[in-house]
Structure 1
Amino acid sequence: MNKTSLNDSELLSLYIGGNEEAFEELLNRHKDRVFTTIYLIVKDRYTAEDLMQEVFIKAIRTIKSGRYNEEGKFLPWILRIAHNLSIDHFRKAKRYPMIVMEDGSSVFNTLDFSESSIEEEHIKQDTYNLLKAYIKDLPDSQREVLVMRHYMKMSFQEIADATDVSINTALGRMRYALINLRKKFEQTQNAYDKNLYRK
């Protein structure tokens, strides 16, 4: 059987049925797109190659465990894994991004003291922890743009290319992410600096 003439869904069915070569064909068919997706985010060939291995290992484990149910949409699914692993890579590498709000102020504009008291350090740490939790709660598309922009220092053009959307869409997602973060902080009645979002 000529596997190159089969579509992704047919190849997946063969692979699930025990045909290892079917996954090899899927890998060869899509590895360039997967690599490019990762490389656009991490901008390092060696890191991208390592992460690409992880992507395919994760895909194999998911399929073999019977948890794959994307109904033949293999490419968008594996590209989503690639995105998530790339973003996780940066999350682990950099603990605290500098988030700039839509009015140009920093989330921590009142917390950046040259010499902080112990109490101020606690407030700062609590706020960072809150921010991490709030970022995690954002819708996937908003979180992705926020992380790419602030953790990875990607331009909006690069974000648009990496996420396969227009620049306007990327900008819109970023704006909504910042609005959502601001709302979450305003709703939180913890003992952090009440001037955090001075208008």
Structure 2
Amino acid sequence: MTCKSAHDRDLIRSYMQGDEKSFENLLNKHKARIYTSIYMFVKDKDLANDLFQETFIKIIDTFRSGRYNEEGKFLQWALRISYNLCVDHFRKNKRRPTVAASDDFDILDILKVNEDNQETRIMKRQTYDKVRQLVDCLPKEQREVIILRHYAELSFKEIAQLTKVSINTALGRMRYALINIRRMIEERQISLQ
């Protein structure tokens, strides 16, 4: 067990014993990764906020009812809840997420980037934008594995468990996603420099 999961477990225990500040600390510790993974699926800031809140309502309900299974993997469990809420949303609405030009959320706001000069920042932003557009063009299963691996930073084992497929299937989806991205870069003659 890692120090990080032990710390989460301590925060959860403190919260379940009545310390509201412990839950706030747990939320602050993981909110960026959970919100980012939700947003990358739904591509809508308001919907992402709603699903993020719904995720933590479910987490609180599970804690308060004593149904939390303490395995030392709070983040993976919370991401699974958020993932399932996203899937449920799209099943109910049967629509594919789209990116609106007016979205004011940007993954780069959460990522920590070393201070660069203005030109380097512009080039990085343009590269990230191009990569995001390519990821959005991937089939759903491939897009999922890219988001979960690179934005939510899950291992392939965690991705396999979350999406209910084998590790080999998750690895295969990543491989095909990278092949498809390379193909699109070549076909569209996109420069990522």
**Cα distance in 1, alignment partners of residues 65 and 139 from structure 2:** 36
**Cα distance in 1, alignment partners of residues 18 and 36 from structure 2:** 29
Counterpart contact for 1:70–1:77, Cα < 8 Å: no
**Cα distance in 2, alignment partners of residues 87 and 24 from structure 1:** 26
Equivalent position amino acid for 1:21 in 2: K
Partner of 1:7, secondary structure, is: helix
Partner of 1:154: 140
Counterpart contact for 1:159–1:170, Cα < 8 Å: no
**Cα distance in 1, alignment partners of residues 54 and 140 from structure 2:** 23
- Would the alpha carbon gap of residues 14 and 71 (structure 1) be closer, same or farther in structure 2, given more than 3 Å must change? same
Counterpart contact for 1:38–1:52, Cα < 8 Å: yes
Structure 1 position 63 matched with structure 2 position 49? no
Percent identity of paired positions between Structure 1 and Structure 2: 54
Equivalent position amino acid for 2:67 in 1: R
Counterpart contact for 1:12–1:23, Cα < 8 Å: yes
Q: How does 1:7-156 map to 2 (within 5 A)?
A: 7-94=7-94, 154=140, 156=142
**Cα distance in 1, alignment partners of residues 51 and 72 from structure 2:** 23
Q: Which runs of 5+ in 1 are unaligned?
A: 1-5, 96-148, 174-199
Partner of 1:63, secondary structure, is: helix
Structure 1 position 163 matched with structure 2 position 148? yes
**Cα distance in 2, alignment partners of residues 155 and 169 from structure 1:** 10
TM-score by length of 1: 0.50
**Cα distance in 2, alignment partners of residues 161 and 37 from structure 1:** 11
Counterpart contact for 2:38–2:48, Cα < 8 Å: yes
The CA RMSD over aligned residues, in Å, is: 2.9
Map Cα deviations across residues 135-158 of structure 1 (whole Å, 9 max, x no partner): xxxxxxxxxxxxxx9xx96361x2
**Cα distance in 2, alignment partners of residues 72 and 170 from structure 1:** 23
TM-score by length of 2: 0.52
Runs ≥4 residues deviating over 4 A = none
Aligned length: 113
